[in-house]
Amino acid sequence: MAALDFGMAKARGLFAGLTPTMEQEVLRLSGGKQDVFKSEDFWGQQVDQLIRQGYKETSRVAPGTFAGRGSFQNLVRQKGYESATPVYEERYIRRSRGAGPQYLPISTPNVDRNRYMVQRYITGYDAVKQRDLSQSELDTITKETKARTAKTKAAFERAKKEGATPRKARGAGGVLAKAVLPGQEGAGTGMPILGETGLGLMTSVLGAKQKLGA
């Protein structure tokens, strides 16, 4: 079985139906390096793990989201987030009372630095939350996986008609695409039924998880 790096695995269709955020989670689960070569089974196992445990989603929240008593980290966890990184911007603030606005944009030209100084302030937080895949996301992965499987089976049949060896024909689409979907066991690809080995997308996971909380 060919070894693929992250980009090659994506091009081969092993991440069918995944959003860019999910793909980055697969990369994180695999060690975080795009140029490391792994087997198709390995990449499939990372997708399985993503579906089982969900993924980390980052969203921008308002600056007052984590206000209150207690340590900042405890306030973050109370809101259901794993972590939160402040996002800063700069502006000019008036040094004392007097004429003129209290704040000026940092891009304001020719500011009197005797009257104004630069202030760095928090405009929000990039907050990270672990979330399960929604039923809609699971349905999309199922749909795209089936489409990829059908496309690869067609390529397999064309390769056989053109005289390609079974080994070459099987190399057309990766584990996700080559595995036999439940109910299609007679398709004759020579590959295991999806869900019986490394990739449990269709039976052990997608068929078992129903409505998942976002």
Q: pTM for the complete prediction?
A: 0.56
Q: What mean pLDDT is reported for the chain?
A: 79
Tell me what the mean pLDDT of segment 163-170 comes to.
Answer: 54
Residue 61 or 3, more confident: 61
pLDDT for residue 104: 95
Tell me what the mean pLDDT of segment 203-214 comes to.
Answer: 40
Tell me what the mean pLDDT of segment 96-125 comes to.
Answer: 92
- Sequence-ordered list of residues with C-beta below 8 angstroms from that of 192, at least 6 positions apart, any chain: 179, 180
Read off the pLDDT of residues 57-73 as tens digits, 9 standing for 90 and up: 899 999 999 999 999 99
Taking alpha carbons only, the member of 137, 170, 183 closest to residue 15 is 137
Residue 177 buriedness (CB in 10 A; 0-12 / 13-18 / 19+): buried
Is the pLDDT reported for residue 24 higher than 60? yes
Residue 205 or 138, more confident: 138
pLDDT for residue 1: 58
pLDDT for residue 179: 44
In three-state secondary structure terms, 100 is: coil
